[in-house]
Amino acid sequence: MPCNLRPDPSGAYDFMASAGAAVTLKVAGTTGLAGIASAMLNQKPLSVSDSDTLHFIVRAGINILRFSAGVSDPEDTVKVLEESADGDSETLDEFESNPNDPVTGYTIFGVED
């Protein structure tokens, strides 16, 4: 089963998904450990599972996801992955950890079928 988030080819949003899609998103370090300390979706707290995983449903229209990441190695490259229901994972984004700013966020546009 494929992942739900896909890049927005127009560049207006970070990702597109079908409205109502269930997304499992997690972070991982490249060489060290990474975790999510806190997360919010549309200004509402999102619970963190296993210290590094988020589960949420994409609503129609603009969704704003933000989370703060923690890494064991301040110089690590952080990967943001989506896990599909059958256990596959796809890298959505990767970036160098910034000790100045552990916050990352994405705009996800939910498309009504």
Partner 1 sequence: MIKPVCLVVLLLLPHTAYGQADRLQAYQADIQNLFSKQPAATIEHLTNINYQPSRFLNYAVSPQGSAATLFDQTVANWERARVDKQIGKSLVSRGSAPSLLGLAVEAGAVTESVDGNAATLRANADGLLRFFAGQPIFQLGRTATPILKNLNVSGSVDLTRPGTKQVQVSNNSTVAIPTSSRRLSGFSVRYDIHNGRDVRSKAYQQRWRDWFAVKRPALESAGLHLLGTIGTALDLIVNDARYGAWRADFAAALANVTPVDAADVVGRFLDRIVELARQISPDFDAKVHAVELAYSGYLANYDDAIQELNGKPLVTFEYTNSRPANQPNLHNARLIYGVNPFGGSGLATLNMGSTLYRRLQDFEAGLELDRPLGGLVTHSAVGTLSAYYQYQLQAAVVKTDCGMLPVAKGNMIVLEAKVTLTMKSSGVKIPVGVTWSNRTDLIKGKDVRGHIGVSYDFDSLLAPK
Minimum CB separation from partner 1 for residue 71, in Å?
9
Report the residue from 27, 67, 82, 110 that binds partner 1 according to the rule CB under 8 A: 67
Written as one letter, the residue type at 24 is T
List, in sequence order, every beta strand (DSSP E) within 19-88: 22-29, 34-41, 44-45, 48-49, 53-57, 61-71, 77-83
Q: What is the distance between the alpha carbons of residues 24 and 96, in angstroms, rounded to a whole number?
A: 22
The footprint of partner 1 on residues 11-40 (CB under 8 A) is 11-14, 30-33, 35, 37-40
Residues in contact with partner 1 by CB under 8 A are 7, 10-14, 30-33, 35, 37-40, 43, 45, 48, 51, 62, 64, 66-68, 70, 72-75, 77, 93-107
